[in-house]
A = this chain, B = another copy of it.
Amino acid sequence: MTPSLTRSLLAERHRPTLESATRALRERGHFSAFSDNPRDYPREAGAAAFEALTQRRFDLDQPGTDAWVGGEVSPYGIPLGISYPHPDPEVLLPAMRAALPAWRDAGPEARALVCAEILARLADRTAELAHAVMHTTGQGYAMALQAGGPNALDRGLEAVAAALEAQTAHPAQAEWTRPRGRHEPLRIASTFTPVPRGVALLVGCRTFPTWNGYPGLFASLATGNPVLVKPHPRAVLPLALTVATARRVLAEAGFDPQLVALAAEGENEYSARALAVRDEVRIVDYTGSSAFGDWLEENAGQARVFTEKSGVNTVLVDSTDHYGGLLPNLAFSLSLFSGQMCTTPQNLLIPREGIETDQGHRSFDQVVADLAAAVEALLGDERRAASLLGAVAEPGVLSRLASAGETGEVALASREFAHPEFPEGRVRTPLLVRLDARQPDAERTLLAEWFGPVAFAVAVDSTAEALALLRRTLRERGALTVLGHTTSKEVEAALVEVCLDERAQLSLNLTGGVHVNQTAAFADYHGTGGNPAGNAALVDGAFVATRFHWAQVRRPA
C-alpha cells in the first residue's frame, strides 16, 4: 500500500521549515514556526474537542494493553474521567523494537520530515491541546496554549533540527583516497549510517508535559529511536494526544505506529522505575524531582539519562537604573503560574543596606514593600490574575506554602483566590517572606527548593555575600535560572564569573517584556546540564549527539 503521506509531499510541506529551523539554530536569533497568539486558535472548538475526550477510554490501538488506567482531576476541580492503555512491557517493548530497523533505514531527512508533520498536526490541535494542558497542569488558558502548544512545538522542532544537523554533519557516503607514491593509491568507499541506541523512555512531568517532553521525544524519534511515553499519572492527556497524533502520522507515512507508544500507569504504580532499567530502554528523558532524577542517573546504567531536576533559582539585586521596570518584571516572574515553573525565582538576595536606583536609594524594607505592592498591582484585576496564576497542580504545594510562611516574616501573604470561572480551582497568590541571611536557620531554608508560589526576600550583608551565597546555591543545589540586577560593571563581571564557574544560565537587568522564567526555542538554552539542577540542556549538541551512533561500512572503491 502506498502511504498517503509520501516523502515528496512531506518534503514539499516541511523542508523550508526545517531549513529555517536549522539556520535559526546556527544564528540563534528569533524564530518560531508556530504562532503563539491565542487569538489565532479557536477556543470554543478546542473546548468541544477536549470535552469529547473526557469520560471515556482513550484508545490508541497499542499491542499488549493489559489494563485501562487513569484518574486525572483538573486542578480547576473537574475530574476528566479518561482511562488510558496500560501496557504489558513484555509485549509492547518488543513491538517497538521491531519497528526500529525500517525507521532507522529511512534516514535522517525522512525522519525529520515525519517529525515535522507530527508537529504540524499537533499545531492543528493547538486549542484542544491547550485545554488538555490547562486541565492537567493547572496553567491558565493563555499560558497552557502558548507554553503547552506553540512554544512546546518550537522546542520540539528545535530538537528535530538539531538532530538533523548532527546526523548530516558529514555525507552519508565518502571516498577516501590515499596516495602512495609510485604505487596505486589506496581507495575506500564508506557509507555512514546514524543508528539509534534503542527504545527511548520519556518520563513526563506534571506541570509542563509537552514543553518539557517534546525536546526529548522528538530528539529521540528524529535520531531513529522508538519512544515510549510514560506521562505523569495526573497529566496524561496532553501526551496521549501527542502519542495519538504521532502514531497516526507514522502510519500515514508508511511507518510502524509502534514507534511511539503510551505507557500510562496505575495509581501509585511508579512504573518509570521498572521501565527505566529494562534492557530495551537505552535512552531516558526525565523532568521532575531531584530524588527520582538522581535515582535514574545512578540506576539506569544501560541507558543515556537526560534529566531536568529541581534547583534553587536566585535573583541578586545590587542596583538598577530602571527600578520602575524591575518591580513589575519580577512581580510577573513570581506570579506566573503561581511560581510552579522550574525557572521561577525563589531567593531574592538584597543588601540589607538597600540599593541604589534611578529613583534614588531604596532601603531593603522599601524594596520588599515595593515588590509586594507590584505583585498586588499585577494581580489587582481578577480576570487577568486568574489567567496569570492558573491553579495549583499538586496539593502538596499548599502545605509547603504554610510551612514557608513560618520561616520568616511574611511580607506578602498568599491569598486564596476565587477563580471567576472554576470555583473549585486551587488558586493561590504568591507568598513573599522576609529572611535574614544571618538567621541561624536561613541557610537550610534557602538551600531547599520550595516549589510553588514561594519567594524569599533575603537581607544580605553585601553584594559580595550575595555572590557567595549564589555560588554555594548553584554548586550544592543547582538552578535553571539566575537573574541579576546591577548597574556596576564589576558586579556584572562577578555575576558572570560565578555563573560560568558553576555552569548556570544568567539573565541581567530584565525590566521589560522578557522574563527570567521564559526562554525562546532556537535562541535560548534552557538549563546548562552542568549544575545539580539537571544533566541536560534544551537543546544543545550533547542533547542530540548522544542519541545515536555512527555505523560505518568500508568497501574497496
Residues of A bordering B, CB below 8 Å? 25-30, 101, 104-105, 166, 169-171, 174-180, 183, 186, 188, 190, 192-193, 195, 197, 297-298, 301, 496-497, 499-501, 503-514, 520, 523-525, 528-530, 537, 540-542, 545-546, 549-556
Contact = CB atoms under 8 A, between A and B. Distances in A.
Given A504-B551, A512-B186, A546-B545, A28 B170 contact: yes
Nearest to A173: B28
Contacts of A29: 174-177
Given A25-B170, A27-B171, A28-B190, A529 B506 contact: no
A445 B197 CA distance: 28
Contacts of A301: 297-298
A512 B177 contact: no
A28 B540 CA distance: 24
Nearest to A177: B30
Contacts of A504: 551
Nearest to A297: B301
Contacts of A541: 166, 169, 541, 545
The binding surface of chain A is classed by DSSP as mixed
Contact of A552 (B177, B512, B524): B524
Contacts of A513: 180, 183, 186
Nearest to A527: B549
Nearest to A508: B555
A29 B171 CA distance: 10
B503 A176 contact: no
A126 to B, nearest CB: 19
Contacts of A499: 551, 553
Given A507-B554, A528-B551, 6 more contacts: A28-B190, A30-B176, A188-B514, A195-B500, A508-B554, A525-B552
A27 B175 CA distance: 9
Given A545-B542, A546-B546, A556-B512, A27 B178 contact: no
A421 to B, nearest CB: 27
Contacts of A496: 553
Contact of A551 (B27, B188, B500, B555): B500
Contacts of A508: 553-556
A323 to B, nearest CB: 15
A497 B27 contact: no
Contacts of A500: 101, 104-105, 193, 195, 551
Contacts of A171: 27-28
18 contacts: A25-B170, A27-B174, A28-B171, A30-B176, A30-B177, A101-B497, A104-B500, A183-B513, A186-B513, A190-B523, A193-B500, A503-B551, A506-B554, A509-B555, A510-B556, A528-B549, A529-B549, A530-B551
Contacts of A549: 503, 528-530, 537, 540, 542
Name, among A197, A497, A512, A551, the residue most crowded by chain B CB atoms within 10 Å (CB to CB). A551
A514 B187 CA distance: 8
Contacts of A170: 25-28
Contact of A524 (B166, B511, B554): B554
Q: Across chains A and B, which 5 residue pairs bring their CB atoms closest together, nearest first? A: A530-B549, A541-B545, A28-B174, A542-B545, A528-B549
Contacts of A555: 507-509
Nearest to A105: B500
Nearest to A549: B530
Nearest to A175: B29
Given A514-B188, A556-B514, A550 B523 contact: no
B506 A174 contact: no
A550 B524 contact: no
Nearest to A501: B101
A105 B509 CA distance: 23
